[in-house]
Amino acid sequence: MSTEARTIQGEHPADARERILGALGQYWGYDELRPHQEAAINASLDGRDSLVVLPTGGGKSLCFQIPAALRTGADIVVSPLISLMQDQVEALRTCGYPAVALNSAASPAQNARAEEQIRAGEASLIYAAPERLLSMRTLSLLDGAHINAIVVDEAHCISHWGHDFRPEYRRLTELRRRFPSATWHAFTATATQRVRDDIAHQLGLRDPEILVGDCDRPNLTYRVAPRTSARDQVLEAIRRHDGHAAIVYCISRKDTERTAEWLKGKGVNAAPYHAGLSAERRARVQRDFMAEKLSVVVATVAFGMGVDRSDVRCVVHMAMPKSIEHYQQEAGRAGRDGLPAECVLLYSSYDPEKWRQLMMRSAQETGQDELPEHQLELLDHMRSFCARMKCRHQALAEYFDQSLDSENCGACDVCLGENQAADDAPVIAQKIISCVARLDGRFGAAHVADVLLGSTKERIRTLGHDTLSVHGILAGTPSPVLRSYIDQLIDAGALQRIGEEYPLLQLTDDSLAFLRTEREVSLLTPKAAARAKAPRASESASWEGVDEQLFDRLRTLRREIAEQRGVPAYIVFGDQVLRDLARVRPADRSQMLEVKGIGPRKLEEFGEAFLGCINGANA
Ligand code: ADP
Ligand code: ZN
């Protein structure tokens, strides 16, 4: 509302910096800012709109939490993640930071208390779900609150391009009339240029400061593999992170239940999570996961947003997501604490078709009889990401118009050399291309694969394709591997897919050159047994000097404290703090305050208990 509410505009930069660092230490116990944080904070303090794109775990929250804490009045944070809002606010309050949340997940008593604090001017930051925010009751409450800034978190939700669009986000601009002098700040982790433009346009940002960080997540190791035996592959991945948090994404609700059940049978502490479960059951899964009583959540991709923990060490996709944006968001939930984590994507070349059918069905439900072109385009980018044997970090960076410095990322299946080149690639390519030629380009990839594998299913026999000379010439090749070869040939330009509904596999102008082996081709498959057992350098580095037994004891203590208080474990301390504590073994409170991530408030609350645990261990 009134601009006097801002107290910092025109302040000398050095003074502003000191106050920013002061807040950073006071609430979070950190001593330096990350790239772009200072510029983002200053944009807000200077009263300028901003659009900030930082990867998950890049530290977006501090960019809006700090300015709000440094001035009188309050800022509003709009977030779609209602289920997580309460936890975020709880985490802030544990640091002594004055924040409140207004949303349907909070009890009426909690909401009433939040309203009281807003009226009393005791909240610097007000988190609200979009619907709640736009209600008359909330708006009139906020009228008296000196709103300096409106922060739109997960701002990509306002865009149709590759994201789960939320119609209520479009209504946010109604707030402009209500709070004409407030500045606007959009935050997101994933945004191509197109999405960025869309966000700025939809929110009507005025000459915004645009800050785009490096989108790469170097702490993540990406692995993409053909889905051969899905459940075993999932089990193998989560066993590499035994006892740690993992999320498994499935396309259907049924799959989440079956997979969770199967995993439980294998001794994994797992539970399903999807929109069809009762609110009560979902809340319990969420609570148990947060409290570290549950390690693995098997969720539908459509609904996985509610499960989040910063120490997720592994995210597995049992099938391909429908866009790279979705993949980036979902896989991005791994390693938000910056520590090494792994993302495994199991892929079958049938996945794009399955998505196409699902998307078609939902389009028809809304009366459309065609899929928007851009949806198919996004799907195809995702397909190609899976099928191509190109550095995964590099491929993701390129999709977001960036590029990686190093040739070898050392953190994906391709760069780690976990795939092997088929010795006889030229011959395999010849056989596949011949089969496509023999079938006159009138069949899809699945049928071509069936012929090559020597299938005798009815359709093959009826068409007489079991008598073709190409029938069975690649018999014995695992079917997903063959489908991956076909994808790789498409990617190399040796074949093409034509048509949308039932895409046909056809020759290209270059097919002949491949057939005559004038053009080189390499075909990769995952190495069977040699699944990277050796941890990455950064994985072992992050454990260097850490007394792992002490770490486990500290973890148990953290879980007990969290349980007593009924809060998620990470709110007490993150894994990074626990590792540091188990590395430096502080002897007293002042040494403990040196550890990054421990501020005065947390020292007071938890110092005694953790020092006791550490020094008991020293003795
Ligand atoms: P994002 O919202 O971008 O996914 P968060 O704001 O949750 O990321 O931050 C990720 C983690 O990094 C959190 O644990 C946060 O406390 C930590 N963090 C953020 N900024 C800093 C900083 N300047 N120094 C140290 N840790 C930081
Ligand atoms: Zn790589």
Q: How confident is the model at residue 163 (pLDDT cuts 50, 70, 90)?
A: low
- Determine the pLDDT at residue 373: 81
Kindly list the distances between the CA atom of residue 242 and the CA atoms of 236, 239, 245, 457, 492, in Å, as whole numbers in the listed order. 10, 5, 8, 42, 38
pLDDT at 433 over 70: yes
- Ligand 1 neighbourhood includes 332 CB (under 6 angstroms): no
Task: Identify which ligand lies nearest to the alpha carbon of 536.
Answer: 2
The number of the ligand 1 atom at minimal distance from the alpha carbon of 31 is 24
- Ligand 1 neighbourhood includes 44 CB (under 6 angstroms): no
- Determine the pLDDT at residue 87: 83
Return phi, psi of residue 498, to 5°.
-120, 135
- Determine the pLDDT at residue 8: 57
- Ligand 1 neighbourhood includes 56 CB (under 6 angstroms): yes
CA–CA distance, 74 with 101 (Å, rounded to integer)? 12
All structural domains of the chain, each given as residue ranges with its CATH number in brackets, are 13-212 (3.40.50.300), 220-417 (3.40.50.300), 420-526 (1.10.10.10), 543-618 (1.10.150.80)
Distance from residue 468's CA to the centre of ligand 1 (Å): 61
Region class of 36: left (phi > 0), else alpha (psi between -120 and 50), else beta: left
- Determine the pLDDT at residue 3: 39
Q: Which amino acid is at 102?
A: L
The per-residue b/e assignment along 60-78, b for 16 or more CB within 10 angstroms, e otherwise, is bbbbbbbbbbbbebbbbbb
Interval 208-216 mean pLDDT: 93
pLDDT at 441 over 90: yes
The number of the ligand 1 atom at minimal distance from the alpha carbon of 32 is 23
- Ligand 1 neighbourhood includes 54 CB (under 6 angstroms): yes
CA–CA distance, 14 with 71 (Å, rounded to integer)? 17
- Determine the pLDDT at residue 89: 92
Kindly list the distances between the CA atom of residue 483 and the CA atoms of 469, 503, 611, in Å, as whole numbers in the listed order. 20, 14, 56
Surface-to-core class of residue 121, CB atoms within 10 Å of its CB (0-12 exposed, 13-18 middle, 19+ buried): middle
Q: How confident is the model at residue 10 (pLDDT cuts 50, 70, 90)?
A: low
- Ligand 1 neighbourhood includes 62 CB (under 6 angstroms): yes
- Determine the pLDDT at residue 236: 94
- Ligand 1 neighbourhood includes 310 CB (under 6 angstroms): yes
- Determine the pLDDT at residue 376: 86
pLDDT at 434 over 50: yes
Quote the crossing angle between the two packed helices 425-438 and 479-492, to the nearest 10°. Answer: 90
Lowest mean pLDDT among 36-40, 69-73, 268-272, 368-372: 368-372
Distance from residue 516's CA to the centre of ligand 1 (Å): 55
Long-range contacts of 4-7 (CB under 8 A, 24+ apart): 5/71, 5/72, 5/73, 5/146, 5/148, 6/45, 6/47, 6/71, 6/73, 6/148, 7/70, 7/71, 7/72
Q: Whose CA is nearest to atom 27 of ligand 1?
A: 59
Arithmetic mean of pLDDT over the chain: 88
CA–CA distance, 2 with 5 (Å, rounded to integer)? 6
Q: How confident is the model at residue 127 (pLDDT cuts 50, 70, 90)?
A: very high
The number of the ligand 1 atom at minimal distance from the alpha carbon of 60 is 3
Ligand 1 pocket test, candidate residues 28, 337, 578, most atoms within 8 A of CB: 28
Tens of pLDDT, residues 578-619: 999 999 999 999 999 999 999 999 999 999 999 999 988 554
CA–CA distance, 25 with 49 (Å, rounded to integer)? 26
Lowest mean pLDDT among 32-36, 486-490, 508-512, 615-619: 615-619
- Ligand 1 neighbourhood includes 57 CB (under 6 angstroms): yes
Cβ atoms within 10 A of the Cβ of 136, count? 7
Tens of pLDDT, residues 285-329: 988 998 888 999 999 987 767 677 888 999 999 999 999 999 998
CA–CA distance, 249 with 529 (Å, rounded to integer)? 24
- Ligand 1 neighbourhood includes 256 CB (under 6 angstroms): no
3-state helix, strand, coil in the chain (%, to 5): 50, 15, 40
- Determine the pLDDT at residue 5: 42
Helix (H) or strand (E) holding 506: strand 504-507
Tens of pLDDT, residues 535-576: 455 566 678 888 889 999 999 999 999 988 888 888 899 888
Return phi, psi of residue 505, to 5°.
-90, 125
Strand duo 419-421 + 524-526: pairing: antiparallel
Strand duo 50-53 + 209-212: pairing: parallel
Task: Identify which ligand lies nearest to the alpha carbon of 64.
Answer: 1
Strand duo 125-128 + 99-102: pairing: parallel
The number of the ligand 1 atom at minimal distance from the alpha carbon of 24 is 23
More confident residue, 160 or 356: 356
pLDDT at 165 over 70: no
Ligand 1 pocket test, candidate residues 56, 62, 125, 571, most atoms within 8 A of CB: 62
Interval 107-129 mean pLDDT: 92
Cβ atoms within 10 A of the Cβ of 605, count? 15
Distance from residue 402's CA to the centre of ligand 1 (Å): 22
pLDDT at 7 over 60: no
DSSP string for 562-584: HHHHTS-HHHH--HHHHHHHHHH
Q: Which residues pair with 102 in a beta bridge?
A: 128
Distance from residue 58's CA to the centre of ligand 1 (Å): 6
pLDDT at 534 over 50: no
Strand duo 220-226 + 245-250: pairing: unpaired
Percentage of the chain lying above the pLDDT 70 cut: 94
Sign of the four-CA dihedral 446, 451, 454, 460: positive
Tens of pLDDT, residues 334-362: 998 889 999 999 988 778 888 888 888 88
DSSP 316: E
pLDDT at 409 over 50: yes
- Determine the pLDDT at residue 140: 92
- Which residues, 6 or more positions from 531, have their beta carbon under 8 angstroms from its beta carbon? 236, 418
- Ligand 1 neighbourhood includes 574 CB (under 6 angstroms): yes
- Which residues, 6 or more positions from 308, have their beta carbon under 8 angstroms from its beta carbon? 81, 84, 333, 336
Distance from residue 335's CA to the centre of ligand 1 (Å): 12
Return phi, psi of residue 221, to 5°.
-105, 120
* Residue that has been written with the tokens 């993992």 in this structure: 246
Q: What is the pTM of this model?
A: 0.82
Ligand 1 pocket test, candidate residues 30, 56, 153, 156, most atoms within 8 A of CB: 30
Q: How confident is the model at residue 164 (pLDDT cuts 50, 70, 90)?
A: low
Task: Identify which ligand lies nearest to the alpha carbon of 216.
Answer: 2
* Residue that has been written with the tokens 């409450």 in this structure: 141
Select from 224, 242, 227 the least CA-distant residue to 296.
242
Helix ranges (H only) for 366-494 are 373-387, 392-399, 425-438, 445-453, 458-462, 479-492
Q: How confident is the model at residue 6 (pLDDT cuts 50, 70, 90)?
A: very low
Helix (H) or strand (E) holding 113: helix 108-119
- Ligand 1 neighbourhood includes 60 CB (under 6 angstroms): yes
Using DSSP, how many helices (H) and how many strands (E) does the chain show?
Answer: 28, 17
Distance from residue 95's CA to the centre of ligand 1 (Å): 14
- Ligand 1 neighbourhood includes 575 CB (under 6 angstroms): no
Contact 579, 543 (CB under 8 A): yes
Kindly list the distances between the CA atom of residue 599 and the CA atoms of 41, 432, 589, 590, 594, in Å, as whole numbers in the listed order. 20, 62, 11, 11, 9
Please, what is the Cα angle at 231 between 230 and 236, to 5 degrees? 100
Select from 462, 523, 451, 463 the least CA-distant residue to 487.
523
Interval 133-147 mean pLDDT: 90
- Ligand 1 neighbourhood includes 326 CB (under 6 angstroms): no
pLDDT at 465 over 90: yes
Tens of pLDDT, residues 470-497: 999 999 988 878 888 998 898 888 999 8
